Amino acid sequence: MSCCRKVAIALSGGVDSAVAAALLQRRGLNLQGVHLRLSPLAAPPDRVEALAHYLEIPLTVLDLQPEFAREVLDYFGSEYARGRTPNPCVRCNAAIKFGHLWEYLKKSGVTHLATGHYARRNLDDHDAPGLFRGVDRRKDQSYFLSRLPLSLLPNLLFPLGQMTKEEVRRISRAAGLPVREDQRESMELCFIPAGGYQDFLKARRGIEGSPGDFVDPRGRLLGRHRGVENYTVGQRRGLGIPAREPFYVIEIQPESNRVVLGHREELLSPGLTASRLNWLIHPPAGEIEAVAVIRYRHPGVRARITPRGDGSVQVAFETPQSAVAPGQAVAFYDGDRVLGGGWIEARIK
């Protein structure tokens, strides 16, 4: 770790980033803390300041609320209005935490950025840095990091990548770190208050969704919906359509203001198309095989990924998958290594 001349640790106030900071401090690194102020709903930085004081490291509180509003909140609202299912955590990591924050830190002479993510940055067989799953598969967050720039990997540290959540909690208690263990997880919607995302969309966009038709895959009318932004692909609850066999949202058509409903088997798809690929390896020139993960907690499915020459790919699953949602992120894995990821544009029917 002698190469890490000046390390910044992103501190949220939760147990994960606190333990990551404590572990780095034990290594004798030149360590400083940085806390991002992203939302008016965020807790005041008192706990982070107390932690930095306890660890005896300097702390910077960086206000990125305008950037977060523009690049995450506006994106979140516009994606729902387009009938897509956004993934604000993937977006925030790439644009804010490893985007604006890193640019700020570089200017102050920081050489490495550390976070409390459950992921690993290891060297591959050719001594090139790669992104890998965290050892604790229940907490692994590599999916959310699939859009990190490849050029940034040498400058990242993930101290918790080799640890389980139980080990992290034990270290926190043994060290007496002044943190709350009930802090919201980083993969939760930190900007959504009690009431749900629909209320947030109404408040932010200032408009109510336009009611439209529920139809089946053949276009037959089934009922009326409350606005396309209130639904996501795979949704079963809250549809209000009585039936012997449950209906699911299988497609959202904002251009015609229709929500297509079908039964469970109609959610299955043999593949998808994805755009704006971000590769964490040398971009493949032709078809490759990998495991595709189409949402957080998805177990993954073997697939053939075919580049299409315009920064997009076509993904053919080995077995059909349920609830492929346009707007979500897809990440590709070779074993534990993250090869890259993109944004799902459409499911193949």
> Which residues are annotated as catalytic?
92, 190
Using the structure block, give the residue that is written with the tokens 């549809």: 239
Indicate the length of the chain as a whole number. Answer: 349
